[in-house]
Amino acid sequence: RYRHYKWEVKYQYKSPDCFKKLTISINGRSPGPTILAQQGDTIVVELKNSLLTENLAVHWHGIRQIGSPWSDGTEGVTQCPILPGDNFIYKFVVDRPGTYLYHAHYGLQKEAGLYGSIIVSVPSNVSEPFTYDYDHSIILNDWYHKSTHEQATGLSSIPFGWVGEPQSLLINGRGKFNCSLSSLVAGVCNALNPECSPYVLTVIPGKTYRLRIGSLTSLSAISFGMQGHNLTVVEADGHYVEPFVVKNIYIYSGETYSVLLKANQDSSRNYWAITNVVSRKPSTPNGLAILNYHPNHPEKLPPTIPPTGPLWSDTASRLAQSFAIKAHRGHITAPPLKSDRVIVLLNTQNKIDGFFKWSLNNVSLTLPHTPYLVALKFNLTDAFDQTPPPDNYDSMNYDIFSVAKNVNATSSNGIYRLKFNTTVDIILQNANTMTVNNSETHPWHLHGHDFWILGYGNGKFDMKRDPQKYNLLNPIMKNTVPVHPYGWTALRIQTNNPGVWLFHCHIESHFYMGMSVVFEAGVEKVGKLPSTIMGCGKTRGFHRP
């Protein structure tokens, strides 16, 4: 079945947290419309860029784009940007059921509000390993008042202008900024604006709800909870999870989870749904929504104060949740037992030519002006640096616990060429930032594939001992995974999807600062490229309709 969408993308003033901001909307909405489909459907999104003065590209997060690598929507990798006034057609198959996302993948445009969910249901004759009465999607975000342009300028300037902590947290596009903190310019902040009334989730007592929770924060790691209720985790990034129960679920930017919520508490009142920042020292107020037990009035405030979420600095409990996520026993896809290649990626913050950057093995990615996919298919060897980045760092001598100068760090647009149909292990190694006693959480997202998560650990990865502790029995597959502060995360990938794929930190500013690598595999197997992805850089003269 084909599902056609016609989207017009444009700026509009919106007040998702009561503060008026120029927001990128789809057909007037932010978050954008939810794409609802069934496994096997073909999605066709006809996009019109009405941003007037800005390029655009949209990524379908978690969709592997098998046979359509040119529809991945990553500017500089799989396509040229969509010019103001132009139309672009994304066409792809949603081959697996699950909860996925979409968002802008050009500059910092996601920050401006271009994001939404993709929900792929199982065919009607297929049952899932859990039951529920109703399905709801909840998309979490953090929200800044500065424009994408101010943020991007700060990040790429000397002196460096950091984006800072977000002003608010949004639940389904709604949050609450304290207007008394903002300037007194009339109309900029209005606490009574209906656009920022809290999101209300109404439940019928006794029923079970599948909440599909996705996070598209620009910076924050988040904890989500429902006052007085437990959540049973059943799906992660489109894969069934061996169920486990939590009070709060930690969710990193780019991840999705399904949790089951039983409306089994005192039904004479409402409850708070709460999100709070973890991992970074928060200065953002908690995000609140209302869990409304029918037939109470949806706006009746819960009689008790919102619970406080988990402590932001409790890394151990976040690591414990990471360990708890295992493949559902009836849905295990076993990983290959050995890998053909191991790439260790040391995550560092450093300065290059006076600019703040993030690097992997001392290389900070700059996207080329000619998309890799086109450059590789047409053999345009001068379109990017042909020297691949290193597979390792000097792990014998590098102290991940101290501020390192990394004087040899460079910027490059070189890529990793992976052999097609091989097994590659990726070890993400975290380290200290340029601040003393500080290491951050990075959510890493892979395009075009899911990976097995073989393990997590504290400190420096031990090439000899740690692989012996890998979980090869029931590892979960995901497309986004955290590397915890001062820790490591080990992943296994099968390079079975021809194309060119980003693997990057999903913190928008970190990606912008170079925290990304690019994997090519089997590009010679990619079919004829649509000319609509061309027209920029070295493909300027190439035909565009």
What strand order describes the sheet that includes 42-49?
21-26, 2-14, 42-49, 87-93
Nearer to ligand ASC, 123 or 159 (CB): 159
How far apart are the two ends of the chain, measured CA to CA in Å?
Answer: 27
Among 17, 41, 235, 440, binds ligand ASC (CB under 6 A): 440
Residues 375-434 that bind ligand ASC (CB under 6 A): 433
Structural Rg of the chain based on CA atoms: 22
- The owner of tokens 């794409």 is 35
CB of 314 to ligand ASC, least distance (A): 19
Alpha helices in 140-265 (DSSP H): 148-155
Nearer to ligand ASC, 196 or 505 (CB): 505
Residues 479-518 that bind ligand ASC (CB under 6 A): 510
Binding to ligand ASC by residue 350, rule CB under 6 A? no
Residue 182 CB-density burial (10 A; 0-12 exposed, 13-18 middle, 19+ buried) = middle
Binding to ligand ASC by residue 215, rule CB under 6 A? no
Distance CA 169, CA 69 (A): 33
Q: Compose the 330-349 pattern: x for residues touching ligand ASC by CB under 6 A, - for all others.
A: -------------------x
Distance CA 284, CA 235 (A): 28
Binding to ligand ASC by residue 313, rule CB under 6 A? no
Nearer to ligand ASC, 430 or 433 (CB): 433
| Total of residues contacting ligand ASC (CB under 6 A) | 7
CB of 435 to ligand ASC, least distance (A): 6
Binding to ligand ASC by residue 283, rule CB under 6 A? no
388 with 415: CB under 8 angstroms? yes
Nearer to ligand ASC, 216 or 536 (CB): 216
Nearer to ligand ASC, 19 or 356 (CB): 356
Handedness of CA 369, 481, 252, 319 (dihedral sign): negative
Binding to ligand ASC by residue 435, rule CB under 6 A? yes
Residue 6 CB-half CA count within 13 A = 0
Nearer to ligand ASC, 49 or 349 (CB): 349
Rounded to an integer, what is the distance from CA 9 to the centroid of its chain?
Answer: 20
Nearer to ligand ASC, 146 or 510 (CB): 510
CB of 489 to ligand ASC, least distance (A): 18
Residues 92-111 that bind ligand ASC (CB under 6 A): none
Among 85, 153, 157, 162, binds ligand ASC (CB under 6 A): 162
Q: How many helices and strands (H and E) does the chain possess?
A: 4, 32
Nearer to ligand ASC, 256 or 433 (CB): 433
Looking at beta carbons, which residue is closest to ligand ASC? 162
26 with 104: CB under 8 angstroms? no
- One-letter-per-residue 3-state SS of 349-360: EEEECCEEEEEE
Find out whether the peptide bond into 389 is cis, omega within 30 degrees of 0.
no
Residues near ligand ASC, by CB under 6 A = 162, 349, 356, 433, 435, 440, 510
